[in-house]
């Protein structure tokens, strides 16, 4: 018996969410499309967004990040980054540590630990 009803579909979109990102310095940056990755075992933020927040980066810890078949060393860790998502009167703010990637464009990826805490 041949199974011929399963077809591989290449994804053409990514799950995103609008959110506000802030640091302990209380500087807030509106992010129109934070990426959500339920397969990522960490959350990642770009150096560009860290600069906009004025947040600190612990450069003494530089964990590697595995991307597909490659690995990349992070620039460090930024602690207690607040991510707020909201819809009308409902909102949720979650504080997490993020691995920092050396990229000047402002972006953020919310991984499984962030999703687990969000419920």
The structural domains of the chain, ordered by start, are: 16-118 (2.40.70.10)
**Which pTM does this prediction carry?**
0.81
CB 27 within 8 A of CB 53: yes
Secondary structure element (H or E) that encloses residue 51, with its range = helix 47-53
Structure tokens at 101: 């990637």
What's the pLDDT band for 87 if we cut at 50, 70, 90? confident
Residues 6+ apart with CB under 8 A from 102: 47, 75
Q: Residue 23 pLDDT > 90, yes or no?
A: no
| CA 79/CA 67 separation, integer angstroms | 22
Residue-level pLDDT at 11 = 59
What's the pLDDT band for 2 if we cut at 50, 70, 90? low
Q: Residue 1 pLDDT > 50, yes or no?
A: no
| CA 110/CA 98 separation, integer angstroms | 9
Residue-level pLDDT at 59 = 94
């Amino acid at each position: 018996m041949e199974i011929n009803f399963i077809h591989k579909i290449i994804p053409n979109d990514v799950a995103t969410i609008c959110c506000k990102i802030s640091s302990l310095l209380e500087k807030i940056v509106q992010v129109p499309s934070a990426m959500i990755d339920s397969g990522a075992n960490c959350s990642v933020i770009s150096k560009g967004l860290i600069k906009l927040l004025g947040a600190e980066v612990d450069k003494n810890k530089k964990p590697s990040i595995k991307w597909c078949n490659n690995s990349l060393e992070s620039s460090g860790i930024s602690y207690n980054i607040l991510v707020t998502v909201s819809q009308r009167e409902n909102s949720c703010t979650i504080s997490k540590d993020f691995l920092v990637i050396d990229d000047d464009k402002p972006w953020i990826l919310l991984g499984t630990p962030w999703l687990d805490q969000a419920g």
